[in-house]
Amino acid sequence: MTDDPPPVAVHPPVLYGGAFLLGVVLERLAPLGTEIAWPEGLRHGAASILLVSGLSLAGWAAWLFHRAGTGIPTWRAARRLVTHGPYAISRNPMYLGVTAAYAGLSLAFANAWALLLLVPVLAVMDRLVITREEPYLEARFGRPYRDYRARVRRWL
């Protein structure tokens, strides 16, 4: 097994963080003029639920990777196939958790730009990260990964 990392085109923390910061800048330079139209209590409640559940899910998934001794950042090689815990429900629980946390932060700050930018972020994640990781994982783990991919959905 080589130490080659997956051939992703962009690293997820850079993508999510960059998109959120771009949303903050765009909100200052060219506000949409439409605050997220929910009552403040509902917006903050939804933001809190998304943020806490997203960070919890991503943290749990990352902890399982750490415990298995496999690379968490996409610039490190995958050493073990983790298929239990949240990985039994989603092949990408870290990405799912970060997506929920991103949406929660966008709602918390009532930043419509950041929320709108989540759509292209998910498209980039799907096309330039996940679809590049999957062949890498198949080549690395073979039949166990193919079986895992057949029984567990990509997102939910």
For 86-141, write each residue's pLDDT tens digit.
999 999 999 999 999 999 999 999 899 999 999 999 999 999 999 999 999 999 99
pLDDT(73) > 80: yes
Residues in the chain: 156
pLDDT(38) > 80: no
Measured between its terminal Cα atoms, the distance across the chain in Å is 30
Q: What is each CA distance from 139 to 2, 80, 142, in whole angstroms? A: 11, 13, 6
pLDDT(2) > 80: no
Rounded Cα distance, 21 and 109, in Å: 12
- Return the structure tokens found at 140: 């690395």
Please report which helix (H) or strand (E) contains residue 52, including its range.
helix 40-68
Least reliable range by pLDDT among 21-25, 45-49, 56-60, 71-75: 71-75
Asked if residue 140 lies in contact with residue 70, where contact means CB atoms within 8 angstroms, the answer is no
The angle subtended at Cα 16 by Cα 132 and Cα 58, nearest 5°, is 80
- Return the structure tokens found at 15: 């993508």
H helix runs in the chain, sequence order: 12-29, 40-68, 93-108, 112-124, 131-141, 143-151
